[in-house]
Structure 1
Amino acid sequence: MGRSREKEDAESRFNSPVSISVADSSVSLLKLISILIIFVVGVVIGLVSSSHIDRYFSFRADQFNIKNIYFAADQFSSDSEKMLVNCERECALSMESFIRPLNLNHRMTDDELFWRASMVPQKEEFPFKRVPKVAFMFMTRGPLPMMPLWDRFFSGQDVDKYSIYVHALPGFELNVSNSSVFYRRQIPSQHVEWGSVSLVDGEKRLLANALLDFSNERFVLLSESCIPIYNFQTVYKYLTRSVHSFVESYDNPSRYGRGRYNRRMKPDIRLTDWRKGSQWFEIHRTLAIKIVADTKYYKLFKKYCHPSCYPDEHYIPTYLHKFYGALNANRTVTYVDWSLMGPHPATFTAVNITEGFLQSLRNNGTLCSYNTEKTSVCYLFARKFDSSALEPLLNISSQVLGF
């Protein structure tokens, strides 16, 4: 009996640590597994949560940016900038905006403008109904005193047959009512000075802006003192049916012609190439593109034809004579009276405006060539008219001029 107890006590002391050790190990394993499960679940929850948070903040950031864009455009942009934003959304890649720009208030530099205007489609057929237009381009220092007469000239005419462009001195704004054909027809301009190459820059700027409209076929340069001496239909048919452009280009052997030539222009421009002519031209689209695209000969005039040379009287006449003489009628369609023999032509005031005077401008007894035939209709426009001439012109225009 005693031995039996001692045996049981000994076995108990021997087995007890083993049992405890096994139990402890099981508990530790369970804890480790639990910790691993909790860790994995935590990682999964963290990844999912961070994805949602990123999306949430990205979405909020986008909303914030969009709100800022609209806020800035609506609150701080000018009307022209709002139009630009709207155009970028609605007119992007629009055929209509490409072939017929409606907003003339662009931000292109001259180099950018001339480059774009010189582009020529290689495909001859037009993918739209093209009605040839006449671009009336006004070079002015400020107001257009003859504007009421021009408004009457264009009144009731097909708007698909003409376009208007105004180049004025920087800072001047042509404020007219929206009922006028001159409404919003002012182009971005720069300073021009009589007798300098900047006047040629202004002419090229007008041509380039007008060339952006692919329907413009003929381009006539006018001043603020010019008037039409025939009605619109006569002018339109005369120009659009002509096979020639109308740029005065002739050889003047005097000091006012050859005397202005600079020998440093050789060999690209020789004395035999040198020509003189009136600044007030009318040209076909083909020649307008050539003039706008020219850099080489323009740079020669800019470098060597200084104020006493008067680049506006020589650059285009010389350039066209040298390369495109066969396309030019070598005369102008704008009448100017140089009988006073001064640096400027005669100015017509109110006392000059009579029916007989206007008839003499239209039919002065001279003949000229038109499409290889002789005609008595040589001038379509006339200058130089003082603002005082406006009222008498309006009084008799319907009887004499036909508008």
Structure 2
Amino acid sequence: MLCEMVVFKDLSVGLMKVVYVLIVFVTGIVIGLMSSSHVDRYFTTQPYSLDRIRASASLDSMYKSSVTSDPNCSIRSSGVGSCVTEDCLSMESFRFPKNLSHRMTDEELFWRGSLVPEKKEYPFDRMPKIAFMFLTRGRLPFVPLWERFFKGQDVRKYSIYVHTDPMFELGVANTSVFYKRQIPSQAVKWGSVSLVDAERRLLGNALLDFSNERFVLLSESCIPIHNFPTIYKYLVNSVYSYLDSYDDPSKYGRGRYSRHMKPDIRLRDWRKGSQWFEMHRELAIKIISDTKYYNLFHKYCTEDCYPDEHYMPTFVHMFHGSLNADRTVTYVDWSIGGPHPKSFGPKDITDSFMKSLRNNGTTCSFNKGTTPVCYLFARKFNETALEPLLKLDPEVLGY
């Protein structure tokens, strides 16, 4: 009997040990599973959390960049250690971009510049402006003369744009009307379609200012031969644009036509003219909005075709002739023959010569009548002519 009790006691102790081991084992498994679940959840949620943190940081960076680095937003100093940012989406910024720097491609620029409001009334007091657009290879030698021309004039009546080599800086004083007036430019090669690109680029940038009504293309060798009030009144009151466009039957005109342009452009449509134009806003928008005919010139008007002398004259003649006077308001002397006009130097700068440019006895069409004032600007002046021009009596030029 005693032996049986001992055996039973041993069995009970053994069973308790087994049960205890099983409880510990099961508890360990449960704890392990729970820990594993938390670990998995932690690691599966971490990338998402990190992504959110990175995205948030990226958005903060973009926001800060848009406020401080966006070239379309200017920052004005407002006391020591502080500044005020201009609202990029304000009406003032939209209708009158103060900063000409931007990162738009030509395609984006032309789309933006071609925007036309359906509502005719302006939500601001609009003063029609003349956009003076300078297409130059480098510096502008006649800046002092142009400064005198603009001096004392109402700044609400004009704006200035300069297209030059993208690596070139004008280097004018911050008091100059040309200060920070360079647009984003690209390299230009004489006689190539890149000249047309530069002209359209100037128009596109100038069209961003909704107050610009008239657009004048000028070179570094151009000078004004009338004072500002005369030129302003002449252009703002004109119902036509002044883009040279005529039929030239010689090899320098029709001889440059490519039959590959048919049937969209036929020989009878082909026109020639000086690239130094003046036009109103409606026509400027038509020109930068064109893709089809520009592409034809880009593809077929190459080598000795000189697209800058034919693209706009042909395009305007074909579709917008009623808006154009078919003449230029920039005088140039082609009497010497050859591919370049006569250049005027110091010996040419006399009172009588300058007066003859302003009025040589001929008349030109103006609106529905005629006028003795045919030219408002003249070229091609050598930079050595600057000093004698500045020495002319102000009454000769009117400024």
TM-score bin (small chain)? 0.7 to 0.9
TM-score by length of 1: 0.81
Q: 1:239 aligns to what?
A: 235
Contact (CA 8 Å) 2:74, 2:98: kept in 1 or not? no
One of 303, 309, 319 as aligned partner of 2:305: 309
Aligned to 1:164, the other structure's residue is in SS state strand
TM-score by length of 2: 0.82
Q: 1:275 aligns to what?
A: 271
Q: 2:97 aligns to what?
A: 101
How far the C-alpha of 1:81 sits from its partner, in A, is 6.3
Q: 2:225 aligns to what?
A: 229
How far the C-alpha of 1:92 sits from its partner, in A, is 3.1
One of 386, 395, 398 as aligned partner of 1:399: 395
Q: 1:139 aligns to what?
A: 135
Q: 1:340 aligns to what?
A: 336
Alignment partners' CA distance in 1, 2:290 and 2:185: 20
How far the C-alpha of 1:90 sits from its partner, in A, is 3.7
Between the aligned residues of both structures, percent identity stands at 66
Aligned amino acid, residue 82 of structure 1: S
Taking a change above 3 Å as real, the CA distance of residues 212 and 81 of structure 1, as seen in their structure-2 partners, is same
One of 85, 89, 92 as aligned partner of 2:88: 92
Structure 1 stretches of 4+ with a deviation exceeding 6 A read: none
Deviations 1:287-332 (A, max 9, x none): 0000000000001111111131110000000001001111111100
Alignment partners' CA distance in 1, 2:172 and 2:68: 21
Q: 2:372 aligns to what?
A: 376
Q: 1:170 aligns to what?
A: 166
How far the C-alpha of 1:398 sits from its partner, in A, is 1.0
Aligned to 1:308, the other structure's residue is in SS state helix
Taking a change above 3 Å as real, the CA distance of residues 162 and 85 of structure 1, as seen in their structure-2 partners, is closer
Aligned length: 383
Deviations 1:340-372 (A, max 9, x none): 011100000011101011001001111101012
Deviations 1:141-174 (A, max 9, x none): 0000011000110011111100000000121111
- Aligned residues: CA RMSD: 4.1
Higher helix share: 1
Taking a change above 3 Å as real, the CA distance of residues 397 and 217 of structure 1, as seen in their structure-2 partners, is farther
Alignment partners' CA distance in 2, 1:85 and 1:208: 15
Aligned amino acid, residue 304 of structure 1: Y
Aligned to 2:398, the other structure's residue is in SS state coil
Q: 1:211 aligns to what?
A: 207
Aligned to 2:356, the other structure's residue is in SS state helix
Q: Does 1:199 align with 2:192?
A: no
Alignment partners' CA distance in 1, 2:219 and 2:109: 22
Alignment partners' CA distance in 1, 2:291 and 2:70: 33
Alignment partners' CA distance in 1, 2:74 and 2:141: 33
What stretches of structure 1 of length at least 5 have no aligned partner? Answer: 1-49, 74-79
What stretches of structure 2 of length at least 5 have no aligned partner? Answer: 1-41, 76-84
Q: Output aligned runs, 1:4-403, within 5 Å.
A: 65=57, 69=61, 82=69, 84=71, 87=74, 90-396=86-392, 398-403=394-399
Deviations 1:170-213 (A, max 9, x none): 21111111110000000011111111111000000000000000
How far the C-alpha of 1:91 sits from its partner, in A, is 1.6
Alignment partners' CA distance in 2, 1:223 and 1:85: 27
Aligned amino acid, residue 121 of structure 1: P
Q: 1:40 aligns to what?
A: none
Alignment partners' CA distance in 1, 2:72 and 2:291: 33
Aligned amino acid, residue 341 of structure 1: G
Q: 1:11 aligns to what?
A: none
Q: 2:80 aligns to what?
A: none
Alignment partners' CA distance in 2, 1:86 and 1:240: 31
Alignment partners' CA distance in 2, 1:372 and 1:341: 34
